[in-house]
Structure 1
Amino acid sequence: MYLHIVLMAPHTPISPEFLPKLNLAFRRIRKECSGIERFEWVPNFSQSSSRYSHALLSVFTTQTALDTYRSSEAHQAMLDAIAPHIQDIVVLDSLLEESL
């Protein structure tokens, strides 16, 4: 299993109008990209990194599934929807041990 986390620092607080666009992009990704075990938008409650207010938390079955997702049109559409709102990102990709 492969963990893919993207912490996001928005330019301004995330507006309620943005969420339907994000939900649409997420539904498309789940429909078009196989090998996704978990794919969700989560708030960051950490006081030490409050600039990064939200994250994309995802788990893929294989490295190939993660690579396929990254090169998909659905992923690009999500990036196009998110990019105007985001000032900075931090990406973590890691192998998840089965025992976790």
Structure 2
Amino acid sequence: MLYHLVMLEPDGPDAMPAIKEAMAILETLAPDLPGLKEFRHGPNRDFENKSERYPYGFLCTFTDKTALDTYAANPTHQRAGALLVASCKNGADGIFVVDLEV
């Protein structure tokens, strides 16, 4: 299994509507992509005070790297990704990604 964690640093409070729109777009992918088992998103509660820079994020669970690669190449994912890059501080630099294989 692969857990694809994406944390977002919005470019100010006005960026959240576009981030929410991207989340709505990504939610539509799970039923249609083989190997994408789960998509969840929400606010980062940062209980340990270590990641306040990233107040919002999402987590995808994939069966394997092939499923992650299929997701990455999907035009709907790319459209949502473009919205996120446009909405985050310094573009792609405001997006932190971890792919954890378990």
TM-score, normalised to structure 2, is 0.79
| Worse overlay, 32-41 or 87-96 | 32-41
> Aligned partners of 2:32, 2:80: CA distance in 1, in Å?
12
RMSD, aligned CA: 2.0
Closer, same or farther: CA 31–57 of 1 in aligned 2, 3 Å:
same
Q: Deviations 1:10-35 (Å, cap 9, x if unpaired)?
A: 11136663365234312332244221
* 1:13 and 2:13 are equivalent in the alignment: yes
> Aligned partners of 2:5, 2:19: CA distance in 1, in Å?
19
> Could you tell me whether the CA contact under 8 Å between 1:29 and 1:74 is conserved in 2?
yes
Aligned residues: 96
TM-score, normalised to structure 1, is 0.81
Q: Which runs of 5+ in 1 are unaligned?
A: none
Closer, same or farther: CA 58–48 of 1 in aligned 2, 3 Å:
same
Q: Which runs of 5+ in 2 are unaligned?
A: none
Q: Deviations 1:28-53 (Å, cap 9, x if unpaired)?
A: 32244221111121211112211111
> Could you tell me whether the CA contact under 8 Å between 2:5 and 2:98 is conserved in 1?
yes
Residue 51 of structure 1 aligns with which residue? Answer: 53
> Aligned partners of 1:23, 1:93: CA distance in 2, in Å?
18
> Aligned partners of 1:22, 1:11: CA distance in 2, in Å?
15
Question: Secondary structure of the equivalent of 1:65?
Answer: helix
> Aligned partners of 1:29, 1:3: CA distance in 2, in Å?
16
Larger proportion of strand = 1
Closer, same or farther: CA 24–42 of 1 in aligned 2, 3 Å:
closer
Quick one: percent identity of the two aligned structures? 27
Larger proportion of helix = 2
Question: Secondary structure of the equivalent of 2:61?
Answer: strand
